[in-house]
Amino acid sequence: MTTRWLTGKEQRAWRAYIAATHLLEDAIDRQLQQDAGMPHLYYSILANLSEAPERRLRMTDLAEKSKITRSRLTYAVTRLEKDGLIRREDCQWDKRSSFAALTDEGMAVLERTAPGHVETVRAAVFDHLSEEQVERLEEISSAIVRALEGEETPRPTSDEVPWRRRSSPCSGSS
Amino acid sequence: MTTRWLTGKEQRAWRAYIAATHLLEDAIDRQLQQDAGMPHLYYSILANLSEAPERRLRMTDLAEKSKITRSRLTYAVTRLEKDGLIRREDCQWDKRSSFAALTDEGMAVLERTAPGHVETVRAAVFDHLSEEQVERLEEISSAIVRALEGEETPRPTSDEVPWRRRSSPCSGSS
DNA sequence: GACGCTTGGTTAAAGTTTGAAACAAACCTA
DNA sequence: TAGGTTTGTTTCAAACTTTAACCAAGCGTC
């Protein structure tokens, strides 16, 4: 099968995209490291928790929301726990599970540093985009996410299991 | 100064963008690790070299093209040199500099694995975008790059030095 | 209710990245 | 041309990521 190479237009778009994402991640990491003492990933872990019911999530759910592996999350949470920004809690319903819960101090850090973070994102991205471009960015990004979330396990080989992950059982109400 | 928070639209775009870039980098890393035995960054270092005159670049220029720090590049080149895909060469004109040059074996690896890489990029991105969206993606990405390359050194504090990096002196002709 | 499979989470070791500091060659200037 | 500065690169330690086990708790079933 002959390769479907990228067209000139696609190639330009691809290179610009790669450059943009790398520069952007670097810039955000630098800013957050400076102002919050942690890289972007760790910041968004805290942010994810802050939006969850009771400001806590099971490790697996948090990993999924953060799009990272569980082991990577374990390391991050250990570090953030040492810093006093996160607390681990046991799950009553499922003795295997454990929660990561945002502490008050963690919430405080988040509130203190959010403005600077938003400002960085604005300065790097949204201040330079028209409303129409913002919409396109969302469309394009979503298309990529769909394409990549669709495949998940590359080859189930036999029957296509239309398996749905059950929604987390014990992140329920008060 | 009151924070200019992201609008709902911007927030959706931002989250989709973050998710897309992370999933995409992961997918590409997995594929290249599998097929070429190296992560995306290392692959694009080789790719950058393959397009340079004489298939070689000074370390600093290569770092700049690859949008990474020099120390990160040093590590990567050391590894790729061990693998026999890159060779270091001294610079005659400036004894401080050194070149990284793509070996024939490196070129071969690139040629062998490029089709699979392109296929992955297509499957994740371009197969799902209209021509118009590709153009927007390029526009948007370029805007971000401009925003971030513009600032470089955050605060020259005193006078705005409109300093231009001189183009690499010894990546010239044969 | 013991076997086996799956899920939730951690650990250990190897690999990579970062950021600051070290070095050496090149440059500038009095 | 001696002294200080800039530039190109590397080195080192600490932080982070990955990969492949590992353990323990739930689940299914015979």
DSSP string, A20-62: HHHHHHHHHHHHHHHHHSS-HHHHHHHHHHHHSGGGEEEHHHH
pLDDT per position in chain B (174 positions), as tens? Answer: 788 899 999 999 999 999 999 999 999 999 999 899 999 999 999 999 999 999 999 999 999 999 999 999 999 999 999 999 999 998 888 888 899 999 999 999 999 999 999 999 999 999 999 999 999 999 999 999 999 987 654 433 333 333 223 333 322 222
Residue A166 has pLDDT above 60, yes or no: no
Strand D at less than 7 A from CB of A95: yes
Per-residue pLDDT tens over the stretch A80-96: 999 999 999 998 888 89
Decide if B172 is inside a domain.
no
Predicted pLDDT at B74: 94
Q: Is residue A81 domain-resident?
A: yes
Q: By C-alpha distance, which of B53, B52, B55, B33 is closest to B43?
A: B33
Instruction: For residue A100, give the H/E element and its range.
Output: strand A98-102
Measured between beta carbons, the chain B residues lying within 8 angstroms of A145 are: 16, 19-20, 23
Chain A neighbors of B67, CB-CB under 8 A: 18-19, 22-23, 26
What pLDDT shows up at residue A159? 33
Hey, of A3, A11, A21, A25, which one would you mutate to test binding to chain B, going by the most B CBs within 10 A of its CB? Answer: A21
Q: Which residues from the 108-147 window of protein chain B have CB within 7 angstroms of nucleic acid chain C?
A: none
* pLDDT score of B160: 33
> pLDDT grade, residue A127 (50/70/90)?
very high
Cβ contact (<8 Å) for A23 and B118?
no
Question: Are B148 and A27 an interchain contact pair (Cβ–Cβ within 8 Å)?
Answer: yes
In contact, B93 and B168? CB cutoff 8 Å: no
Of A12, A18, A67, the CB nearest to B22: A67
Q: What is the pLDDT of residue A2?
A: 82
CATH number at residue A133: 1.10.10.10
What average pLDDT is seen over chain A?
86
The answer to whether position B94 is within a domain reads yes
Task: Label residue A126 exposed, middle or buried (CB < 10 Å: 0-12, 13-18, 19+).
Answer: buried
Residue B44 lies in a domain: yes
Identify whether A166 is part of a domain: no
The answer to the question of residue B31 being in a domain is yes
In a domain, B75, yes or no: yes
A165 in a domain, yes or no? Answer: no
Query: Which of these ranges, A19-28, A47-56, A120-129, B148-157, has the smallest mean pLDDT?
Result: B148-157
Distance from residue A172 (CA) to nucleotide C12 (C1'), in Å? 35
Contact B140 A137 (CB under 8 A): yes
Closest to B118 (Cα-Cα) out of B39, B23, B32, B22: B32
Total number of domains in chain A: 1
Q: B26 lies in which domain range? A: 18-149
